[in-house]
Amino acid sequence: MSATDRLIEANRRFATTFDRGGLEAAPAMGVAVVACMDARLDVYRLLGLREGDAHVIRNAGAVVTEEVIRSLAISQHELGTTEVILIGHTKCGLEGLDRDEFAERLERETHAPRDWTIGAFDDVHQSVANSIAQIEASPFLSLAKSVRGFVYDVNTGTLNEVI
Amino acid sequence: MSATDRLIEANRRFATTFDRGGLEAAPAMGVAVVACMDARLDVYRLLGLREGDAHVIRNAGAVVTEEVIRSLAISQHELGTTEVILIGHTKCGLEGLDRDEFAERLERETHAPRDWTIGAFDDVHQSVANSIAQIEASPFLSLAKSVRGFVYDVNTGTLNEVI
């Protein structure tokens, strides 16, 4: 049985007690979260979110790319969110990743020309600060009344704000 | 008190009982999930995931963009995942979105030249099928032994596989 099969089985059990149907698409709290894809971040649980509360956008490193701008623009202009929460985290695989080594290994393993940047960074606090600045500077995201960033400690479960 | 402040308060309570520290970055189940940012999808709960089990990548529509390729390539080549699960859902805001109307409204509201595509689609099943094909075709994602796609029913909590 594959991991996917086990997760589908878990969904069958989840659905038998599901009682959160009939919700609207627009997030009830007016919030969009941008977080790293890291497996240790259960974004709903760590923020106390319930289904319907907030959009959740995730990628490798929680870096602000064109894709994040797209998702947040739809979140704000189509679905009415006005607060953005950025979440990087400790022990991120992209913090201090050796870009050259990874790029070389990827080329060796894939034999393919890469047209995307790896998105690694040297310091997660600086990366979150940069992301806040990028969102605040985007003309597509000017409906945000609040853009705040945090580093989540994967060992303690605590969010620490990046000022 | 802003919604962000309320969520930070919820995190304080979460951290007091947090007992999932010390986990590795590599997902324990070897799985990467790609899902829509929609607020109604609590991906961990609907799949029975715990912290550390799976990467979770999310954007508007769960469409496969260059950004998703980047995140999945890091997931596979740097952190060892070998199964991909795609999750679109019913009542998606991007299904049947009037691209022209939205593009015009965005231009009127932002006065900015847009260099990204909106990523809307006409049918979520077809969109998930396309995403499976894109992942299977990418030279950067050939370490995947399994790529399967689903439409999540936001009213019943059930995953239905796209074959």
With tokens 């508007």, the residue in question is B60
What's the longest Cα–Cα distance across chain A? 49
Range A76-90 average pLDDT: 97
Q: Using CB atoms, pick whichever of B25, B40, B46 lies closest to residue A38.
A: B25
Domains and CATH numbers, chain B: 25-162 (3.40.1050.10)
Q: Give yes or no for residue A133 having a pLDDT over 90.
A: yes
Is the CB of B20 inside 8 Å of chain A's CB atoms?
yes
Which pLDDT does position A66 carry in this prediction?
A: 92
Bridge-based pairing of strands B31-36 and B54-59 is parallel
Q: Give yes or no for residue A89 having a pLDDT over 90.
A: yes
Q: What is each CA distance from B91 to A2, A23, B26, B61, B123, in whole angstroms?
A: 29, 10, 33, 11, 10
Q: What is the DSSP letter of B49?
A: -
Q: Which residues pair with A87 in a beta bridge?
A: A35, A150
Query: Which residues in chain A (25-84) have CB-CB distances under 8 A to chain B?
Result: 25-32, 37-60, 65-71, 73-75, 77-79, 83
| b/e map A16-53, b = 16+ CB within 10 Å | eebeeeebebebebbbbbbbbbbbbbbbbbbbbbebbb
- Tell me the residue type at B131: S
Q: What is the DSSP letter of A122?
A: S
Is the CB of B160 inside 8 Å of chain A's CB atoms?
no
Rounded-to-integer distance, Cα A136 and Cα B108, Å: 19
Which pLDDT does position B115 carry in this prediction?
A: 86
Rounded-to-integer distance, Cα A138 and Cα A67, Å: 13
B38 vs A contacts (CB less than 8 Å):
25, 55
Is the CB of B10 inside 8 Å of chain A's CB atoms?
yes
Task: Enter the pTM of the model.
Answer: 0.98
Which pLDDT does position A161 carry in this prediction?
A: 98
Rounded-to-integer distance, Cα B117 and Cα A38, Å: 26
Is residue B139 very low, low, confident or very high in pLDDT (cuts 50, 70, 90)? very high
**Least confident piece of the model among A113-127, A139-153, B47-61, B79-93:** A113-127
Which pLDDT does position A115 carry in this prediction?
A: 86
Q: What is the pLDDT of residues A12-66, one digit of tens each?
A: 999 999 999 999 999 999 999 999 999 999 999 999 999 999 999 999 999 999 9
